[in-house]
Amino acid sequence: MRPGAVRAGAVRPGAVRAGAVRAGAVRAGAGRAGAGRRDLAVLRRATTAFFAIDGFIFASWAVRIPAVKEQTAASPAALGLALLGASGGAVATMAISGALCRRFGSRPLTVAGGTALSAAVLLPPLARSALSLGLALVVFGIGYGCLNVAMNSLAIDLVAALRRPVMPSFHAAWSFGGLAGASLGGLLAPHLSPLRHLALVAVAGLAVTAVCGRALLAHPVPVHSDAADGLDGVDGLDGLADLDGLADRVRLTTHSAASSRPVWRVVLLFGLIALCSAYGEGAIGDWGALHLRQDLGAGPGLAAAGYAAFALAEACGRLAGATLLERLGQRRVLVLGGVTASAGMLAAALAPVLPVALAGFALTGLGVANMFPAAMTRAGLLAGPNGVALASTLGYTGFLLGPPAIGFLAASVGLGVGLTTVSALALVAAALAFIAGTGREPG
C-alpha cells in the first residue's frame, strides 16, 4: 500500500473541482466580455445613425426655408421672429433634458427625441402664416433640443465604456448627415413642394428611429469594456481614461456643495469653449457665402463653395478626431484647433482674393472640427447629462448668437471685419482650453 498515492488521489478530485470552477469563471468572464463588446458595437452603430439623421433632418428643413417664407408671405422681420421659435424651443428643452436623462435614461430619451423631431419636421410646411410657422418651429426646436442632449449623453456613456475618445466620430456623422440633407434637398427643391419633401424626410427619420431605437433599448451600455483594458493610458482623455469609478466619483462630488464648485467651474469652461466654436459655425453658415459674393465678387456657385469647403473639412477633421485625441491629447487638440481656426478665419475674412478665402474657410473647418465634441465629452464625463445639457445650451447659444452679431457688425464696420470676431473667439477658446488643462482634475 502506498499512503502517499492514496493521499494524492484524494487531493486530485478537489484540485480538479477547483480547476473546473476557475475554468468556469474564466469562460463566464469571457462570455460577459464578448456580450459587452457586441452590445458596444450595436450601440455605437445605432448612436451614429441618430447623429446622422439629426443632421439630415435639420439641413433638410434649412434648405426649404426660402420656399416656406414665400408660402407664409412672411416679411424678413416676421420670418426672423418665427425662426426664433426653433431656437427658443431648443434652448428651453436642452435646459431640462439633462434631468430627464438622469431620470429616464439617455437611451429612451434618444428614441423619444428622434421620434419627436421626425414628426415635427412636418409642421413648418403646413404653416400658412408667420405666427403658425413660429409655433410649429417651437415644437421642432423641442424635438431638436431633446435629441441633441440625449444622444450626446449616450455618446459620452459609450466613450466611458470604450475608454477611447470616439466622440468626434459621432459628430462627423452629424456633419455628413447635414451635407446629405442639404445636397438632397437642393436636388428635390425644384421638383417637390416643401410638404412632400419634408414628408419623405419625416418617414426616413421615423424609420431610422424605429430600427435603431429598438437596438438602443435592447442593448444596455456595459459598465466596463474588457476589450479596452489596454487603453487605460489613452492621452485623449487627459487623465480620465481610467473611467471605472468615474461615475461614482462624480456622484459623490456633485452631492457635496463644497466640492461641486470645482467640477462646475471646469464644466462651465468647456461649455464656453463649445459656445466659441459654435459661434463660428453659425456665422459662417449664414454669412460666409454673402462675404464671398459681396466682398470678393464670387458667383453664386463659388460663393456657396465657401461653406461647402468649411463643412467638408470639418467633417473630415472629425473622422480623424479619435486618432488626434489619442496621439496629441485633448488639451493640445483644443489649443491647436483654436489657433488653426483663428488663422483660417482671419484669412477668409480679410483675404483680397477668392482662392485664399476658400482655403481659409477650409482651414477654419479643420480647426473647429473637434472643439465642440471634445468640450462636450469633458463636460459630460465630469457632470453627466447635466453637464451635457449645460454645454449644449451654451454651444447652441453661440450658434444663435453668431449670425445676428455678425449682421450688426456688418452694418457698422463691414462684413469682412465682422467675421474676424470668429477668429477672436477661436483664440478665446484656445485660451480657455489651456486654462482648463492647467487645473487639477476635480474629485
Residues 278-289, mean pLDDT to the nearest whole number: 82
Give the tens place of pLDDT for each residue, 3-31: 444 444 444 555 444 544 444 544 444 44
pLDDT of residue 438: 54
Residues 291-297, mean pLDDT to the nearest whole number: 86
Give the tens place of pLDDT for each residue, 111-121: 999 999 999 99
Q: Which of 10-24, 72-86, 308-322 has the lowest mean pLDDT?
A: 10-24
pTM: 0.76
Which amino acid, 133?
Answer: L
- 251 vs 62, higher pLDDT: 62
pLDDT range class, residue 102, cuts 50, 70, 90: confident
- 254 vs 371, higher pLDDT: 371
Q: Which of 5-19, 206-220, 232-246, 388-402 has the lowest mean pLDDT?
A: 232-246
Residues 364-368, mean pLDDT to the nearest whole number: 94
Reading the block at residue 69, the C-alpha cell is 417664407
| pLDDT at position 262 over 80 | no
pLDDT of residue 298: 81
pLDDT range class, residue 35, cuts 50, 70, 90: low
Handedness of CA 66, 70, 76, 78 (dihedral sign): negative
CB 405 within 8 A of CB 420: no
- 79 vs 61, higher pLDDT: 61
- 185 vs 197, higher pLDDT: 197
pLDDT range class, residue 185, cuts 50, 70, 90: confident
pLDDT of residue 112: 96
Handedness of CA 424, 429, 435, 437 (dihedral sign): negative
Return d(Cα 337, Cα 390) in angstroms, integer: 22
Fold match flag (35-223 vs 232-443): yes
**Topology, domain 35-223:** Growth Hormone; Chain: A; (1.20.1250)
Residues 75-103, mean pLDDT to the nearest whole number: 85
Which amino acid, 243?
Answer: L
Annotated domain spans of the chain: 35-223, 232-443
Average per-residue pLDDT for the chain: 81
Reading the block at residue 191, the C-alpha cell is 421638383
CB 241 within 8 A of CB 322: no
Residue keyed to cell 417651437:
138
Q: How far is CA 245 from the centre of its chain?
A: 24
Q: Which of 99-103, 145-149, 289-293, 320-324 has the lowest mean pLDDT?
A: 289-293
pLDDT of residue 34: 56
| pLDDT at position 75 over 50 | yes
Return d(Cα 172, Cα 297) in angstroms, integer: 32
Nearest Cα neighbor of 304 from 156, 208, 183 is 183
* 387 C-beta neighbours (distance < 10 Å), count: 29
Reading the block at residue 237, the C-alpha cell is 482623455
Residue 79 backbone phi and psi in degrees, to 5: -65, -40
What is the 3-class SS of the chain, one letter each residue? CCHHHHHHHHHHHHHHHHHHHHHHHHHHHHHHHHHHHHHHHHHHHHHHHHHHHHHHHHHHHHHCHHHHHHHHCCCHHHHHHHHHHHHHHHHHHHHHHHHHHHHHCHHHHHHHHHHHHHHHCCCHHHCCCHHHHHHHHHHHHHHHHHHHHHHHHHHHHHHHHHCCCCHHHHHHHHHHHHHHHHHHHHHHCCCCCHHHHHHHHHHHHHHHHHHHHHHHHHCCCCCCCHHHHHHCCCHHHCCCCCCCCHHHHHHHHHCCHHHHHHHHHHHHHHHHHHHHHHHHHHHHHHHHHHHHHHHHCCCHHHHHHHHHHHHHHHHHHHHCHHHHHHHHCHHHHHHHHHHHHHHHHHHHHHCCCHHHHHHHHHHHHHHHCCHHHHHHHHHHHHHHHHHHHHHHHHHHHHHHHHHHHHHHHHHHHCHHHHHHHHHHHHHHHHHHHHHHHHCCCCC
Reading the block at residue 385, the C-alpha cell is 447629462
Residue keyed to cell 454669412:
287
Reading the block at residue 437, the C-alpha cell is 488643462
Its CATH architecture, for the domain 232-443, is Up-down Bundle (1.20)
| pLDDT at position 196 over 80 | yes
